[in-house]
Amino acid sequence: MNNNYTIFKEKMSKIADINFATSVLNWDQEVNLPPNAAKIRSKQLATLSGLAHEQFTNNEMGDLLEDLSAKNGLSERERANVTEAKKTYIKYKKKPNAFVVKLSESVSKAYFAWHKAKESNDFSIFEPALNKLVDLKLEEAELIGFDDHPYDALLDEFEPNAKTKDLDVLFKDVKNQLVDFVQILAKQQQVEDKWLYYNYDKDKQWNFGIDLLKQMGYDFNSGRQDLSPHPFTTSFGASDVRVTTRINENDFNEMTWSCIHEGGHALYEQGLLIEDYGLPTGNAISLGIHESQSRLWENNVGRSLAYWKANYHNLQNLFGENLKGISVEDFYKSINKVQPSLIRTNADELTYHFHILIRYEIEKELIEGNIAVGELPEVWNAKYKDYLNIEVPDHAQGVLQDIHWSHGAFGYFPTYSLGSFYAVQFFDKAKQDIPGLESQIEQGNLLELLAWLRTNIHQYGKMYSADELCKKVTGKSLDFSHFMDYAKNKYAGIYNL
């Protein structure tokens, strides 16, 4: 019927092929790459990025979008695809191809520099590459343009439509309400969690993680799990969505939470419609919404008492010696211990947001030019002292702990907090909509919850913006009070407030 829409769809699908090929190369880089291959792989990735960019910004695409924008007779879904693609087109057009290739090359180099710096605990190895990336990201912000703050232009890549001024309000709430609350908890008697650090056999942990993923409804016919130093989820299309995890034999937390967390991301990707492959409606809305899915599974489901009522028996069967005499309630408390810590990915679900707050403040100041890359270690350590009352012993566990800046991903971190806050608001609604959800979870039946997420969130892809979706699902925009109410209620029980 509408021939140009078909051509548009095919072009988008072809671009997706290139982008997913890039993802395969990235996945392989994380999971399999031999040491000497880094340089060549960077170049291969840069070439593919350049090709995808070329295909998205050529005149044929411009003409198609022009024509389709003016056309009647498109369905709501088709209209959303044209509108979204046009936004991307306009944005990409502002970035010359040479810039895209240069950025991709610099990112690859910075990744390897970061890796080496972290290994050697030497920030100076990373510094020149990071300096270059900050310059390039500033250049990018200028190319894209912004109304209020250059950071808005960078945020937009990860959380479309998000604004620095709104995040300032949100993180002010975090600072005022959450910091206070954690101080109250710190004065209570601390929960015991020593059994989480006994020896947990690697293979048994692996198998336990696989079972948790299956229980969530993760489809192993359309994905697989592997090991990597930094757990992540990657999609090569909804029928091939892979997760990775890591295992620490002396810390039960690492595998468990990364497994459930990445599983939550993967369920979102597996729930996108394969028939919309390559189209905005076949892609996730934003990283914040993506993170709402991983956090909902990790925290609202995975760190609940109901969840462990279903799974603790199996866990005790596997690790009887470690958990002998520990009741499920004690276990539940132990996995929810609130304690300021060094490493973001290992943080409890409250102090986690202080880690994000710190990164948010640093990124803003970096982009504003108020601090230089060379000052990062010092600023980092001071903020950890200030917000978490923690001394950072070395840069590997400090400013070098996260991969994100090595990807040039400034504006990414705030989406982690957004995700946790969206998660609670969505989960509150799911509880209203699904009678007996808690007792389903207690029985290990998570599939009705998954179906609710598929129906209310996954299937739409980018048909709505994050804010539109949040309103559609919960009746209002993101509201931090959901998270604070959840936190107060949950931790009052655990800390006998």
Strand ranges in 228-365 using DSSP code E only, listed in sequence order: 233-235, 241-245
If you count DSSP H runs as helices and E runs as strands, how many of each does the chain have, helices first? Answer: 22, 3
How far apart CA 112 and CA 125 sit, in angstroms, is 10
What DSSP string runs through 372-427? -GGGHHHHHHHHHHHHH------GGGTTTS-SGGGGT-TT-THHHHHHHHHHHHHH
Choose between 273 and 342: whose C-beta lies nearer to a second copy.
273
Q: How far is the CB of 116 from a second copy (least distance, A)?
A: 15
Choose between 224 and 313: whose C-beta lies nearer to a second copy.
224
Reported as type and span, the H/E element at residue 181 is helix 179-187
Please give the radius of gyration of the chain, using alpha carbons only, rounded to the nearest integer: 23
Q: Name residue 251's beta-bridge partners.
A: 248
Q: Which residues bind a second copy (CB under 8 A)?
A: 13-14, 17-18, 20-22, 24-25, 28, 32-37, 39-41, 43-44, 46-48, 51, 219-224, 236-237, 239-240, 242, 274, 277
How far apart CA 82 and CA 68 sit, in angstroms, is 7
Choose between 43 and 476: whose C-beta lies nearer to a second copy.
43
Give the phi and the psi of residue 121 in degrees, each rounded to 5: 55, 45
Q: Which of 269, 263, 266 is nearest to 284 (CA)?
A: 269
Q: Are 287 and 337 in contact (CB under 8 A)?
A: no
Q: Are 466 and 158 in contact (CB under 8 A)?
A: no
Q: What is the dihedral of CA 43, 44, 46, 50, to 10 degrees?
A: 140
Choose between 245 and 425: whose C-beta lies nearer to a second copy.
245
Choose between 20 and 319: whose C-beta lies nearer to a second copy.
20
Q: How far is the CB of 48 from a second copy (least distance, A)?
A: 6
How far apart CA 361 and CA 486 sit, in angstroms, is 25
Q: How far is the CB of 258 from a second copy (least distance, A)?
A: 20
Q: Are 245 and 255 in contact (CB under 8 A)?
A: yes
Q: How far is the CB of 8 from a second copy (least distance, A)?
A: 16
Q: How far is the CB of 23 from a second copy (least distance, A)?
A: 10
* Catalytic positions: 262
Choose between 57 and 417: whose C-beta lies nearer to a second copy.
57
Q: How far is the CB of 156 from a second copy (least distance, A)?
A: 27
Residue 344 is given by DSSP the state G
Q: How far is the CB of 36 from a second copy (least distance, A)?
A: 4
Count other Cβ atoms within 10 Å, centred on residue 145: 11
Choose between 197 and 220: whose C-beta lies nearer to a second copy.
220
